[in-house]
Amino acid sequence: MLISPVSLIMASLLYSNFKDNKYNYNKITEDDLKFISVLVPAYNEEKNIKKKIENILSLDYPKNKLEIIIGSDGSYDNTVNICKEYARHFNNIICLDEKRGGKVNIINRMVSIAKGDYILITDADTQIITKDALKKAQSLNKEFVSAKIIHPKKSRKNLDYKIRSFESKFGKLLTSNGAFMFINKHFYFPIPEYIIADDFYIPLQVLINKGETILCEEIVCSSNDEDLNFFQYLKKRIRVIKGGMQTAFTLVGEIFLHDFLAFVLLLSHKVLRWYILPISLLNIYIFFGKNALLISVLIIFGLLFIKKTRILILELIIPIILTFNIKGILNKNFSGWDTERT
Protein backbone atom coordinates (compact mmCIF):
# COMPACT_ATOMS: atom_id res chain seq x y z
CA MET A 1 0.00 0.00 0.00
CA LEU A 2 2.97 2.31 0.60
CA ILE A 3 4.48 1.43 -2.79
CA SER A 4 1.26 1.79 -4.78
CA PRO A 5 1.06 5.64 -4.77
CA VAL A 6 4.69 5.89 -5.89
CA SER A 7 4.05 3.31 -8.62
CA LEU A 8 1.00 5.21 -9.84
CA ILE A 9 2.92 8.50 -9.97
CA MET A 10 5.77 6.88 -11.93
CA ALA A 11 3.31 5.20 -14.28
CA SER A 12 1.53 8.53 -14.86
CA LEU A 13 4.81 10.28 -15.67
CA LEU A 14 5.84 7.52 -18.05
CA TYR A 15 2.44 7.51 -19.72
CA SER A 16 2.44 11.29 -20.15
CA ASN A 17 5.71 10.97 -22.05
CA PHE A 18 4.55 8.06 -24.20
CA LYS A 19 0.81 8.66 -24.53
CA ASP A 20 0.81 9.92 -28.12
CA ASN A 21 1.50 7.05 -30.47
CA LYS A 22 3.27 8.20 -33.61
CA TYR A 23 3.50 5.39 -36.11
CA ASN A 24 6.45 5.25 -38.47
CA TYR A 25 4.89 4.13 -41.72
CA ASN A 26 7.29 3.19 -44.49
CA LYS A 27 6.44 4.60 -47.89
CA ILE A 28 5.43 1.76 -50.19
CA THR A 29 3.97 1.80 -53.68
CA GLU A 30 1.36 -0.56 -55.09
CA ASP A 31 4.21 -2.57 -56.63
CA ASP A 32 5.86 -2.93 -53.22
CA LEU A 33 2.79 -4.46 -51.59
CA LYS A 34 3.28 -8.09 -50.60
CA PHE A 35 0.91 -11.00 -51.06
CA ILE A 36 -1.34 -11.36 -48.00
CA SER A 37 -3.35 -14.37 -46.83
CA VAL A 38 -6.40 -13.53 -44.73
CA LEU A 39 -7.35 -16.51 -42.54
CA VAL A 40 -10.79 -16.84 -40.97
CA PRO A 41 -11.25 -19.77 -38.53
CA ALA A 42 -14.94 -20.64 -38.34
CA TYR A 43 -17.18 -22.94 -36.36
CA ASN A 44 -20.92 -22.65 -37.01
CA GLU A 45 -20.71 -19.04 -38.19
CA GLU A 46 -23.59 -18.96 -40.68
CA LYS A 47 -24.88 -15.75 -39.07
CA ASN A 48 -21.57 -13.95 -39.50
CA ILE A 49 -19.58 -15.50 -42.35
CA LYS A 50 -21.23 -13.71 -45.29
CA LYS A 51 -20.81 -10.32 -43.67
CA LYS A 52 -17.21 -11.25 -42.81
CA ILE A 53 -16.29 -12.21 -46.37
CA GLU A 54 -17.89 -9.04 -47.75
CA ASN A 55 -15.95 -7.02 -45.19
CA ILE A 56 -12.61 -8.50 -46.31
CA LEU A 57 -13.46 -8.02 -49.98
CA SER A 58 -14.25 -4.36 -49.31
CA LEU A 59 -10.77 -3.63 -47.94
CA ASP A 60 -8.52 -1.35 -49.93
CA TYR A 61 -5.94 -3.86 -51.15
CA PRO A 62 -5.15 -5.26 -54.64
CA LYS A 63 -7.24 -8.39 -55.12
CA ASN A 64 -4.44 -10.04 -57.12
CA LYS A 65 -2.26 -9.82 -54.00
CA LEU A 66 -4.87 -11.12 -51.59
CA GLU A 67 -6.24 -14.55 -50.79
CA ILE A 68 -9.01 -15.35 -48.32
CA ILE A 69 -8.99 -18.75 -46.63
CA ILE A 70 -12.06 -19.74 -44.64
CA GLY A 71 -11.35 -22.71 -42.39
CA SER A 72 -14.41 -24.55 -41.11
CA ASP A 73 -13.62 -26.70 -38.10
CA GLY A 74 -16.39 -29.27 -38.37
CA SER A 75 -19.23 -26.76 -38.79
CA TYR A 76 -22.61 -28.48 -39.10
CA ASP A 77 -24.67 -25.42 -40.02
CA ASN A 78 -24.66 -23.56 -43.35
CA THR A 79 -21.18 -22.01 -42.94
CA VAL A 80 -19.45 -24.23 -45.51
CA ASN A 81 -22.17 -23.86 -48.14
CA ILE A 82 -22.00 -20.07 -47.90
CA CYS A 83 -18.20 -20.14 -48.22
CA LYS A 84 -18.29 -22.49 -51.21
CA GLU A 85 -20.76 -20.21 -52.97
CA TYR A 86 -18.33 -17.31 -52.61
CA ALA A 87 -15.43 -19.51 -53.72
CA ARG A 88 -17.29 -20.24 -56.96
CA HIS A 89 -17.49 -16.53 -57.75
CA PHE A 90 -14.09 -15.36 -56.48
CA ASN A 91 -10.91 -17.18 -57.46
CA ASN A 92 -9.00 -15.77 -54.47
CA ILE A 93 -11.33 -17.38 -51.89
CA ILE A 94 -10.52 -20.86 -50.56
CA CYS A 95 -12.93 -22.88 -48.41
CA LEU A 96 -11.56 -25.60 -46.14
CA ASP A 97 -14.04 -28.06 -44.69
CA GLU A 98 -12.09 -29.91 -42.01
CA LYS A 99 -13.13 -32.40 -39.35
CA ARG A 100 -13.52 -31.11 -35.81
CA GLY A 101 -10.09 -30.59 -34.32
CA GLY A 102 -10.05 -27.33 -32.42
CA LYS A 103 -9.43 -23.69 -33.27
CA VAL A 104 -5.63 -23.77 -33.22
CA ASN A 105 -5.63 -26.87 -35.43
CA ILE A 106 -7.66 -25.12 -38.11
CA ILE A 107 -5.44 -22.04 -37.85
CA ASN A 108 -2.32 -24.20 -38.26
CA ARG A 109 -3.93 -25.93 -41.24
CA MET A 110 -4.76 -22.63 -42.95
CA VAL A 111 -1.26 -21.27 -42.36
CA SER A 112 0.24 -24.42 -43.89
CA ILE A 113 -1.44 -23.69 -47.25
CA ALA A 114 -1.28 -19.88 -47.10
CA LYS A 115 0.82 -18.35 -49.88
CA GLY A 116 1.16 -14.90 -48.36
CA ASP A 117 4.33 -13.20 -47.17
CA TYR A 118 2.07 -11.89 -44.41
CA ILE A 119 -0.93 -13.55 -42.83
CA LEU A 120 -3.88 -11.92 -41.13
CA ILE A 121 -5.85 -14.06 -38.68
CA THR A 122 -9.26 -12.57 -38.00
CA ASP A 123 -12.36 -13.95 -36.24
CA ALA A 124 -15.58 -14.50 -38.17
CA ASP A 125 -17.67 -12.42 -35.76
CA THR A 126 -15.56 -9.25 -36.12
CA GLN A 127 -15.43 -6.48 -38.72
CA ILE A 128 -12.38 -4.54 -39.91
CA ILE A 129 -13.52 -0.92 -40.04
CA THR A 130 -10.30 0.70 -41.33
CA LYS A 131 -10.43 0.16 -45.10
CA ASP A 132 -6.66 0.49 -45.66
CA ALA A 133 -5.84 -1.68 -42.62
CA LEU A 134 -3.73 -4.17 -44.61
CA LYS A 135 -1.65 -1.40 -46.18
CA LYS A 136 -1.15 0.32 -42.82
CA ALA A 137 -0.14 -2.90 -41.08
CA GLN A 138 2.35 -3.82 -43.81
CA SER A 139 3.91 -0.37 -44.02
CA LEU A 140 4.73 -0.43 -40.29
CA ASN A 141 7.34 -3.10 -41.09
CA LYS A 142 6.84 -4.99 -37.83
CA GLU A 143 6.70 -8.73 -37.31
CA PHE A 144 3.30 -8.55 -35.55
CA VAL A 145 0.62 -5.86 -35.67
CA SER A 146 -2.62 -5.84 -33.68
CA ALA A 147 -5.60 -3.50 -33.95
CA LYS A 148 -7.97 -1.78 -31.57
CA ILE A 149 -11.52 -2.99 -31.05
CA ILE A 150 -13.92 -0.12 -30.45
CA HIS A 151 -15.66 -0.12 -27.07
CA PRO A 152 -17.97 2.29 -25.26
CA LYS A 153 -16.29 5.26 -23.63
CA LYS A 154 -15.04 4.83 -20.06
CA SER A 155 -14.79 1.08 -20.60
CA ARG A 156 -12.19 -0.95 -18.71
CA LYS A 157 -11.11 -2.22 -22.12
CA ASN A 158 -9.93 1.26 -23.01
CA LEU A 159 -7.60 1.20 -19.99
CA ASP A 160 -6.20 -2.13 -21.17
CA TYR A 161 -5.54 -0.61 -24.60
CA LYS A 162 -3.58 2.20 -22.93
CA ILE A 163 -1.37 -0.47 -21.36
CA ARG A 164 -0.96 -2.20 -24.74
CA SER A 165 -0.17 1.15 -26.35
CA PHE A 166 2.57 1.71 -23.77
CA GLU A 167 4.04 -1.75 -24.41
CA SER A 168 4.00 -1.03 -28.14
CA LYS A 169 6.38 1.90 -27.63
CA PHE A 170 9.03 -0.72 -26.94
CA GLY A 171 7.80 -3.18 -29.59
CA LYS A 172 6.68 -5.50 -26.76
CA LEU A 173 2.93 -5.87 -27.16
CA LEU A 174 2.11 -8.97 -25.11
CA THR A 175 -1.40 -9.79 -26.18
CA SER A 176 -3.69 -9.18 -29.11
CA ASN A 177 -7.30 -9.89 -29.99
CA GLY A 178 -8.90 -12.27 -32.44
CA ALA A 179 -10.15 -9.45 -34.66
CA PHE A 180 -6.78 -8.57 -36.17
CA MET A 181 -3.49 -10.48 -35.89
CA PHE A 182 -1.18 -9.44 -38.73
CA ILE A 183 2.00 -11.53 -38.80
CA ASN A 184 5.11 -11.87 -40.90
CA LYS A 185 4.73 -15.51 -41.92
CA HIS A 186 8.36 -16.27 -41.02
CA PHE A 187 7.45 -15.48 -37.40
CA TYR A 188 4.48 -17.81 -37.20
CA PHE A 189 5.17 -21.08 -35.42
CA PRO A 190 2.57 -23.87 -35.21
CA ILE A 191 0.45 -23.50 -32.09
CA PRO A 192 0.21 -26.56 -29.81
CA GLU A 193 -3.33 -27.95 -29.97
CA TYR A 194 -3.90 -27.55 -26.23
CA ILE A 195 -3.39 -23.75 -26.27
CA ILE A 196 -6.56 -21.79 -25.50
CA ALA A 197 -5.41 -18.19 -26.03
CA ASP A 198 -3.97 -18.11 -29.55
CA ASP A 199 -4.11 -14.29 -29.49
CA PHE A 200 -1.74 -14.32 -26.49
CA TYR A 201 0.48 -17.22 -27.55
CA ILE A 202 1.29 -15.87 -31.05
CA PRO A 203 2.70 -12.43 -30.05
CA LEU A 204 4.69 -14.01 -27.20
CA GLN A 205 6.26 -16.44 -29.66
CA VAL A 206 7.18 -13.50 -31.92
CA LEU A 207 8.90 -11.80 -28.96
CA ILE A 208 10.73 -15.00 -28.00
CA ASN A 209 12.08 -15.14 -31.56
CA LYS A 210 13.30 -11.50 -31.40
CA GLY A 211 10.49 -9.93 -33.40
CA GLU A 212 8.65 -6.69 -32.62
CA THR A 213 4.97 -6.66 -31.70
CA ILE A 214 2.79 -3.54 -31.63
CA LEU A 215 -0.76 -2.27 -31.34
CA CYS A 216 -1.73 0.15 -34.12
CA GLU A 217 -4.63 2.21 -32.79
CA GLU A 218 -5.23 3.67 -36.24
CA ILE A 219 -6.47 0.24 -37.33
CA VAL A 220 -9.94 -0.19 -35.84
CA CYS A 221 -12.22 -3.23 -35.68
CA SER A 222 -15.60 -3.98 -34.15
CA SER A 223 -16.87 -7.06 -32.33
CA ASN A 224 -20.18 -8.67 -31.42
CA ASP A 225 -19.24 -8.87 -27.72
CA GLU A 226 -21.90 -6.32 -26.83
CA ASP A 227 -24.56 -8.84 -27.90
CA LEU A 228 -23.59 -11.26 -25.11
CA ASN A 229 -25.71 -11.53 -21.99
CA PHE A 230 -24.15 -11.56 -18.52
CA PHE A 231 -23.63 -15.33 -18.29
CA GLN A 232 -22.25 -15.60 -21.85
CA TYR A 233 -19.84 -12.77 -21.17
CA LEU A 234 -18.80 -14.31 -17.83
CA LYS A 235 -18.16 -17.65 -19.54
CA LYS A 236 -16.01 -15.90 -22.12
CA ARG A 237 -14.03 -14.03 -19.45
CA ILE A 238 -13.35 -17.30 -17.61
CA ARG A 239 -12.02 -18.79 -20.87
CA VAL A 240 -9.90 -15.70 -21.58
CA ILE A 241 -8.34 -15.64 -18.10
CA LYS A 242 -7.81 -19.40 -18.13
CA GLY A 243 -6.14 -19.17 -21.53
CA GLY A 244 -4.00 -16.26 -20.39
CA MET A 245 -2.79 -18.13 -17.30
CA GLN A 246 -2.08 -21.25 -19.36
CA THR A 247 0.00 -19.37 -21.95
CA ALA A 248 1.78 -17.13 -19.45
CA PHE A 249 2.89 -19.98 -17.20
CA THR A 250 3.80 -22.14 -20.21
CA LEU A 251 6.04 -19.53 -21.85
CA VAL A 252 7.27 -17.49 -18.87
CA GLY A 253 10.62 -19.33 -18.78
CA GLU A 254 11.33 -18.73 -22.46
CA ILE A 255 10.30 -15.07 -22.20
CA PHE A 256 12.67 -14.61 -19.24
CA LEU A 257 15.58 -16.12 -21.18
CA HIS A 258 14.99 -14.35 -24.50
CA ASP A 259 13.41 -10.98 -23.67
CA PHE A 260 13.77 -9.67 -20.13
CA LEU A 261 11.78 -6.46 -20.72
CA ALA A 262 8.88 -8.51 -22.09
CA PHE A 263 9.19 -10.71 -18.99
CA VAL A 264 8.84 -7.66 -16.70
CA LEU A 265 5.84 -6.41 -18.70
CA LEU A 266 4.30 -9.89 -18.54
CA LEU A 267 4.53 -9.90 -14.75
CA SER A 268 3.06 -6.40 -14.39
CA HIS A 269 0.39 -6.53 -17.12
CA LYS A 270 -0.85 -10.05 -16.51
CA VAL A 271 0.44 -12.01 -13.52
CA LEU A 272 0.29 -9.29 -10.84
CA ARG A 273 -3.09 -8.13 -12.15
CA TRP A 274 -4.51 -11.65 -11.74
CA TYR A 275 -3.42 -11.69 -8.10
CA ILE A 276 -4.03 -8.06 -7.15
CA LEU A 277 -6.94 -9.03 -4.89
CA PRO A 278 -5.06 -11.42 -2.56
CA ILE A 279 -2.04 -9.07 -2.60
CA SER A 280 -4.26 -6.16 -1.53
CA LEU A 281 -5.99 -8.20 1.15
CA LEU A 282 -2.62 -9.34 2.47
CA ASN A 283 -1.47 -5.73 2.70
CA ILE A 284 -4.63 -4.75 4.54
CA TYR A 285 -4.10 -7.59 7.02
CA ILE A 286 -0.43 -6.70 7.60
CA PHE A 287 -0.97 -2.97 8.07
CA PHE A 288 -4.45 -2.81 9.62
CA GLY A 289 -5.18 -6.22 11.14
CA LYS A 290 -7.93 -8.84 11.08
CA ASN A 291 -10.88 -6.49 11.57
CA ALA A 292 -9.94 -4.38 8.55
CA LEU A 293 -9.46 -7.55 6.52
CA LEU A 294 -12.91 -8.80 7.50
CA ILE A 295 -14.52 -5.46 6.60
CA SER A 296 -12.71 -5.49 3.24
CA VAL A 297 -13.95 -8.99 2.45
CA LEU A 298 -17.52 -7.98 3.34
CA ILE A 299 -17.28 -4.92 1.08
CA ILE A 300 -16.01 -7.06 -1.79
CA PHE A 301 -18.84 -9.52 -1.21
CA GLY A 302 -21.33 -6.65 -1.23
CA LEU A 303 -19.99 -5.31 -4.53
CA LEU A 304 -20.98 -8.60 -6.15
CA PHE A 305 -24.63 -7.54 -5.75
CA ILE A 306 -24.11 -4.23 -7.59
CA LYS A 307 -24.53 -4.59 -11.35
CA LYS A 308 -21.85 -2.03 -12.28
CA THR A 309 -19.14 -3.68 -10.16
CA ARG A 310 -20.13 -7.35 -10.41
CA ILE A 311 -18.01 -8.24 -13.45
CA LEU A 312 -14.98 -6.37 -12.10
CA ILE A 313 -15.07 -8.25 -8.78
CA LEU A 314 -15.65 -11.58 -10.51
CA GLU A 315 -12.63 -10.97 -12.75
CA LEU A 316 -10.54 -10.47 -9.61
CA ILE A 317 -11.88 -13.70 -8.09
CA ILE A 318 -11.69 -15.94 -11.19
CA PRO A 319 -7.85 -16.15 -11.30
CA ILE A 320 -7.75 -17.15 -7.64
CA ILE A 321 -10.23 -19.98 -8.23
CA LEU A 322 -8.40 -21.11 -11.37
CA THR A 323 -5.08 -21.18 -9.50
CA PHE A 324 -6.36 -24.08 -7.40
CA ASN A 325 -6.58 -26.05 -10.66
CA ILE A 326 -3.36 -24.79 -12.20
CA LYS A 327 -2.19 -28.36 -12.87
CA GLY A 328 -5.38 -28.97 -14.82
CA ILE A 329 -4.83 -25.81 -16.86
CA LEU A 330 -1.27 -26.83 -17.72
CA ASN A 331 -1.83 -30.53 -18.38
CA LYS A 332 -2.24 -30.00 -22.14
CA ASN A 333 -5.61 -31.73 -22.40
CA PHE A 334 -7.54 -28.83 -23.91
CA SER A 335 -8.74 -28.96 -27.49
CA GLY A 336 -11.68 -27.33 -29.23
CA TRP A 337 -13.70 -24.14 -29.29
CA ASP A 338 -14.65 -23.36 -25.70
CA THR A 339 -16.51 -20.18 -26.60
CA GLU A 340 -19.82 -18.54 -25.85
CA ARG A 341 -21.28 -19.92 -29.09
CA THR A 342 -20.76 -23.63 -28.25
When mean pLDDT is compared across 37-46, 145-154, 196-205, the lowest value belongs to 145-154
Residue 341 has pLDDT above 50, yes or no: no
Residue 342: per-residue pLDDT:
37
Residues 250, 168 share a domain: no
Query: What's phi and psi for 94, nearest 5 deg?
Result: -120, 135
Cα separation values, 65 from 61, 124, 250, Å:
8, 21, 36
Per the structure, the complete domain to which residue 203 belongs is given by: 18-229
Rounded to an integer, what is the distance from CA 115 to the centroid of its chain?
Answer: 24
**Residue 331 pLDDT:** 74
pLDDT, mean of residues 190-196? 93
Q: What is the count of structural domains for the chain?
A: 2
Instruction: Tell whether 339 is covered by a domain.
Output: no
Q: Pick 281 or 228 by higher pLDDT.
A: 281
Count CB-CB contacts under 10 A for residue 311: 15
Q: Contact, 164 vs 183, CB < 8 A?
A: no
Q: How confident is the model at residue 21 (pLDDT cuts 50, 70, 90)?
A: low
Q: Helix or strand or coil: residue 96? A: strand
- In angstroms, the first-to-last Cα distance of the chain is 42
> Do 153 and 297 lie in a common domain?
no
Lowest mean pLDDT across 3-17, 32-46, 67-81 = 3-17
Sign of CA dihedral 299, 302, 307, 312: positive
As beta bridge partners, residue 66 has: 36
- Predicted local distance difference test score (pLDDT) of residue 1: 47
Distance CA 132, CA 135 (A): 5
Q: Which residue has the higher pLDDT, 333 or 161?
A: 161
In this structure, are 261 and 222 located in the same domain? no
> 48 lies in a domain?
yes
CATH number for 80: 3.90.550.10
User: By mean pLDDT, which of 66-75, 174-183, 275-284 is the weakest?
Assistant: 275-284
Strand partners, 215: 146
The full length of the chain comes to 342
- 157 plus 262 within the same structural domain: no
Average of per-residue pLDDT across 32-56: 96
Q: What value does the mean pLDDT of the chain take?
A: 88
Same domain, 57 and 175: yes
For residues 96-125, give the mean pLDDT.
95
Can you tell me whether residue 221 is helix, strand or coil? Answer: strand
Let me know: does 35 contact 65? Beta carbons within 8 Å: yes
Instruction: Write down the pLDDT at residue 339.
Output: 44
> Which of these three, 171, 199, 229, is where a domain ends?
229
Beta-bridge partners for 181: 121, 146
206 with 275, same domain? Answer: no
Give the range among 58-67, 128-137, 324-333 with minimum mean pLDDT.
324-333
* AA letter at 159: L
